[in-house]
Amino acid sequence: MINPRTEVSRRRLLRTGPAIAGALMLAASAPVPQPRRPRYTTAPRPATPQQPVKPAPARTPAVPVLKRPVFTLRDYRRVVPGPAFPGDAVALTIDDGPHPLWTPKILRLLQKHHVPALFCMIGNQVLGHEAVARDVVRDGHLVANHTWSHPVRMSRLPQAKVHRELDRAQNKIYDTTGQAPALFRSPGGDWSPGLLAGAAKARMVPLDWSDDPRDWSRPGVPAITRRLLAARPGQILLCHDGGGDRSQTYAALRTVIPALKARGYRFVALHQPGAQPTKTQKG
């Protein structure tokens, strides 16, 4: 005879068994929860071969606060120690680039005649033309800081804006070319005691010029050529590769460079502390 209590337990088991088995099957097929990962991290990421870490530029020597910028090679040597420039020396400086058309043309001309130059670069012109900027340094030329945005009244800017203009351009030029400028040229040669002090604080020598053909105004090839051919030994010549159509400048330089060399003039590089050229230009 079957115990009534045993019969009741057996019937409950038969009714609940399928439900328990189904629950076990669903639990087995459910995905295993994974630990939540943070969306981002503030920890520094290790460098990869595709993103090498650029070494910090060597700090240049402290620069005294000058009462006026450098205008001539004699002025330059008084500020930057080094051997005396030859008596027949002139220096060529080129502003407002890099430019995707005119900078490469001028580079080829300089290479043809073995002439070194100083390219005073605008930071927001380097932006987007990084390959051209690197070509300038690769060809052995030096670069100078010509501000980030070329403000026409640089001397009237507050010190905070002066610092941003210089610092932002310096970082962009160095990050692009690997060369840290040690020279600063104010747009339009606009200077003030505060700006001279700002250049010194940034450890850059303030640089001007002594022969200006005003090629930026496009006065014509003959006018640019005539003014550049009037250069005298010891002068710093000013030209432009950026800021617009520089076909007149390029055409004038094609005549002026070989003519000055035929006269016995020697083009020299403004070697800077902490920013040596990548190769030596001869001539």
User: For the whole model, what pTM was predicted?
Assistant: 0.77
Decide if 142 contacts 277 (C-beta within 8 A): yes
Decide if 147 contacts 166 (C-beta within 8 A): yes
Question: How do 236-240 and 89-97 pair as beta strands?
Answer: parallel
pLDDT in tens, 48-96: 334 444 555 555 678 899 999 999 999 999 999 999 999 999 999 999 9
Maximum alpha-carbon separation in the chain: 134
The catalytically annotated residue of 95, 208, 215, 241 is 95
Taking CA 262 as the corner, what is the angle to CA 258 and CA 268, rounded to the nearest 5 degrees?
70
Residue 96: active-site member: no
The catalytically annotated residue of 75, 215, 240, 241 is 240
Residue 129: active-site member: no
pLDDT at site 23:
46
The residue among 147, 152, 156 whose CA lies nearest residue 122 is 147
CATH class belonging to 73-267: alpha beta
Domain boundaries along the sequence of the chain: 73-267
Tokens 């990962």 belong to which residue? 37
Q: What is the mean pLDDT of residues 8-34?
A: 49
pLDDT at site 271:
80
Q: Which of 21-25, 76-80, 152-156, 180-184 is least confident? A: 21-25
Q: Does residue 154 or residue 59 have the better pLDDT?
A: 154
Tokens 């330059």 belong to which residue? 76
pLDDT in tens, 222-247: 999 999 999 999 999 999 999 999 99
DSSP 8-state symbol, 280: -
Q: At what angle do helices 159-177 and 130-138 cross, to 10 degrees?
A: 70
d(CA 40, CA 187): 43
